[in-house]
Each structure stands twice: as C-alpha cells, then as structure tokens.
Structure 1
Amino acid sequence: MYLTLDQTATTPLYLQLEARLRDALSSGTWKAGEALPPERALAQQFGVSRLTLRKALERLEAQGLVQRRQGSGTYVAPRLEQPLSALTGFSQDMRARGLEPSDRWLKRGLFAASPEEVLALQLSPGERVARLERVRSAQGEPMAVERAAIPAHLLPEPEAVKDSLYTHLEGRGLRPWRALQRLRAVAAGRQEAGLLGVRSGSPLLYIERLSFLPDGGVLEFTRSHYRGDRYDFVAELRSS
C-alpha cells in the first residue's frame, strides 16, 4: 500500500492521513480484527511524525473504525452485519459468528406495566410485566443496551432467564412466530453512552421490536440501543 500526502496543501497532514487511512479501511486493505502496521512503520511510510499519525488514529478511534490497545497496537474495529429478515436473538446471532456473548444485568424482575408497555403488549391497566434490562456484549465488548418486557403471566419467573431469552421462552413453549421492528438513528444520551463505553452524542441505532405468538398474542416488547460503530443492519429486497 502506498498512499501519498500533499505536503504543500492547506489541509493539515493529520486530516489528510485520517482520510487516506479511512479509505484503506473501507477498501478492505486491513480486515476486521487485524492489526495495523506498527506506528513507527506507518509514520515512515507516510513521511509524517508519530505525533501526526497518533492524531489521525485518535480521530479514527473516535469514529469507531479502529481500536487502540495499550501495549499491543491498533486494530481494525469489527462490524457486525445483522439481517433484518430473520427472527433471532442476540446470543444466537453472536454464536453464529463465532463470538462469545455475555450480559451485565441492569434489572430483572416483575414490575407494574408502564403506559407504553400496556399499549404495546395489549394489557389491562394494573397488569404486571417481566422486565429484563441488560448490556449485551460480544467477546467482552459492549454492543447494545436491551430492555425487554413480557407479560408476567407468560414469564412469571424472569430471574430464571440466564442467557438467551428466546431459548428460555421456547423451553416454555412460547416460540416467537413473527415480529415487527422499527429502527431509527439516535444520539447516545449520558446513560446509554456510559453503559456502552462511547461518548455522549455518539450515533446509536434505536430498535423497537414487537414479537408475536402464533395465535396473534403479543409476546415481547423490546427497546434496544445498538452501537452505530459496530452494527450494520442488512435487508434483502426483491422485485415484486
């Protein structure tokens, strides 16, 4: 790879270098999870100081394109493609990619349904829901904050859910049959940013999912915030 910089341009060298490295990452010069060459080698290759190189790498890291590991080097940040055509859970998705999922529980128990949950789950006022809130991680890295609500009569013991919610529900004969999802881009608030280890204002994908049983009853109402620097949601379109 040979990417020249214009030493006479008014654009600072670190911004030129950032753009060249971003293009190289986009073109697949380095694969996800692969280490970039050592800083000394990259600086020599582009004819810049290591300080200039570090400024460019810091900007790429802030965009979620690379990960800098103390004492190890700089690595291409992984991105996960999530198909929108399959009804699967986080644990299943990660294991299908050879990644080990893990959770940090924030809340798990029975609670009075909020007005939003009453409406979404088609409940009567005063009914309770099983509420499951957790940070979902892959290979130890936070990927999403997930908040799920299920009618209490369908999940009377939410503490029994250890890993995959869908696996637990299927064990109770409650396999989700279809789902509706709504996605939109949002900026990370202080709470989500802290839980996901990103800066406030960072791009997130907010997803609402309603899952249904074969008889048409609502099984699950889930609201999730996914890291925009780690996830691509992919939909296959066909001509009618």
Structure 2
Amino acid sequence: MKPALRFAGQTMYLQVYQVLRSRLEMGVWQQGQTMPPLPVLMEEFGASRVTVREAMHLLEREGLIRRRRGIGTTVEAIPLSDRWVRIATSMDELLQMQRAVQPTVLNINDHAGLPDVQLPSDQTAAQQYVRMQRVHLRQDRPYCVIDLSIESGLFKRHEQAFLQRPALLVMHEDTQLRVTSARQDLSIRCADLVEARHLAVVPGSPVAEVRRVLSDEAGVVVYAAVVVYPSHMVRLSMDLLAPGNAIDRKATQ
C-alpha cells in the first residue's frame, strides 16, 4: 500500500474527495465511464475502505457519481466549469466581473476598523469604517464571501447603494472620490467551517483569498476587503509586457 496523502489541517477523506473531484473536472473520467474499483483507490491513496467510501459518498451526494452493487461506480455528471475562478488583474476587469454578482449582507457594524489586510507604508487608516460580511451570488450560486470595510463618510453618501450593490461599482460612480492606489494580494488556502457553509463547499476545500486595499489622494484607505472564492482551480491571466498602470488617476479608469 502506498503512503497515505497528508495535508495539514485536512481530514483524509476530504483529501481523497478533492483529488477525485479534480480528476472529474479535468475530464480524467467522462460521463458514463466506470471509475476504478474501491481496492484500486485504496491502494493509490494509501487509505482505508471507510475513508475512500466517505470520499465517494460526497461525490455521490453532489450527483457526480452513482455506486451500484455488481456494476461499480459510474460517472453521472461532470462538475460545472464555473468552479474555475478567474482573478481580475485590472480594475476594469474587476468592475466588469462585479456587474454580474448580487450581494447579500450577512452582518454590518457601523463603528468598526479594517479587516486583516496589510497597509502599504505610505497609507493610513481612516478614523472609522462601516464593516460588512457579505456573500456575493452569481447565477443564484455563491460566488464569494467577503469581509469589507468602507470609510464611514463615503458609506453614508451612498448607504442604500452599498447595501444593495457591489461596493466597487458604487465607488466607481462617486464623482467626489479619487482613488490613487489600488492593490491586491492572492493566496490559496483551505476553507474554514463558516466560509464553507456560506460558499456551499466541503470544509477544508481549496479557496482563493484576495486581500484588496484602495486609498484616496491623501493616502487614506477608503476600502479594504478580504475576499474568499471557492475553487479547486484558479486562473490568473496577465499580460507580462503590458505597460505599468499610473497610480495618479482614478482607479476605475
């Protein structure tokens, strides 16, 4: 038997589930095909029969496979391609993507600070922010969960719009606001229990985390967010020869 897979903080059956689901996404097994029998998968993953069965149960619960005695395990459906998450690398692209999402507010705090983001050395926090946790839906499915703070004065100018629409779109339409710095950092990690529930994924599933900070002409942070996208696979496309974007302009241009 091969050594078992091990990833810190993850239960073994979730690891097996994630690998098998990724193979379905990549087309290793097509709809109608029979997957390898249980003993073969046990040998490959170095896992017990119970562990592999638990992983297969998750796939079956999603409607991706069907297990039948005497026939084996057949592929019933291929995971939807929108599990690929494209991370925007320009403000124009980010705004375009946000036009297709619908926010749902989970909670709101009128007297709050910033989420856990790292501020550049030349930027400072405002005195007070309105902080919200939200789920963004796309085609009626969870697209991301977001923890964001908006400078209080800015929020009060467009309170209803910020509660009902993506924040960056509202900021884009504010003629008084001039954003001169917009930065984001991407990392890949595992979903915690709360995130998994909101995103409709299994706890421990891979997620893409983006930490985003926007500042005005005075170097004051007007928007900061930690955005978590559910995805086994992340697509990040950049033109490596594109000219650098000047920061002394409105970030939405």
Q: With the length of structure 1 as denominator, give the TM-score of the two structures.
A: 0.62
User: Counterparts in 2 of 1:25-104, with a 5 A limit?
Assistant: 25-26=25-26, 37=31, 41-43=32-34, 58=56, 61=59, 68=63, 73-78=76-81, 79-88=83-92, 92-93=96-97, 100-104=100-104
Residue 219 of structure 1 deviates from its aligned partner by 2.2
Q: Structure 2: where are the runs of 5+ without partners? A: 3-17, 42-52, 66-75, 244-253
Worse-matched range after superposition: 219-228 or 100-109? 100-109
User: Counterparts in 2 of 1:154-169, with a 5 A limit?
Assistant: 154-156=154-156, 158-161=159-162, 162-169=164-171
Task: Give 1:203's aligned residue.
Answer: 206
Cα distance change of structure 1 residues 92 and 238 upon mapping to structure 2, 3 Å threshold? closer
1 CA distance for matches of 2:185 and 2:213? 9
Q: Tell me how many residue pairs correspond in the alignment.
A: 201
**Partner of 1:236: helix, strand, or coil?**
coil
Task: Give 1:237's aligned residue.
Answer: 240
Task: Give 1:171's aligned residue.
Answer: 173
Task: Give 1:7's aligned residue.
Answer: none
Residue 113 of structure 1 deviates from its aligned partner by 2.0
**Partner of 1:68: helix, strand, or coil?**
coil
Residue 188 of structure 1 deviates from its aligned partner by 1.2
**Partner of 1:218: helix, strand, or coil?**
strand
Once superposed, what is the RMSD of the aligned Cα atoms? 4.4
**Partner of 1:168: helix, strand, or coil?**
helix
1 CA distance for matches of 2:207 and 2:195? 9
**Partner of 1:200: helix, strand, or coil?**
coil
Worse-matched range after superposition: 112-121 or 199-208? 112-121
Amino acid in the other structure paired with 1:180? R
2 CA distance for matches of 1:149 and 1:81? 23
Q: Structure 1: where are the runs of 5+ without partners? A: 1-9, 11-17, 31-35
Is the CA contact 1:68–1:75 (under 8 Å) kept in the aligned structure 2? no
Residue 206 of structure 1 deviates from its aligned partner by 1.6
Residue 123 of structure 1 deviates from its aligned partner by 3.1
Task: Give 1:149's aligned residue.
Answer: 149
Amino acid in the other structure paired with 1:167? L
1:188-212 CA-to-partner distances (Å, cap 9, x unmatched) read: 1111111111122111112111113
Task: Give 1:184's aligned residue.
Answer: 187
Aligned with 1:222 (options 197, 221, 225): 225
1 CA distance for matches of 2:117 and 2:222? 12
Report the identity percentage: 19
**Partner of 2:125: helix, strand, or coil?**
coil
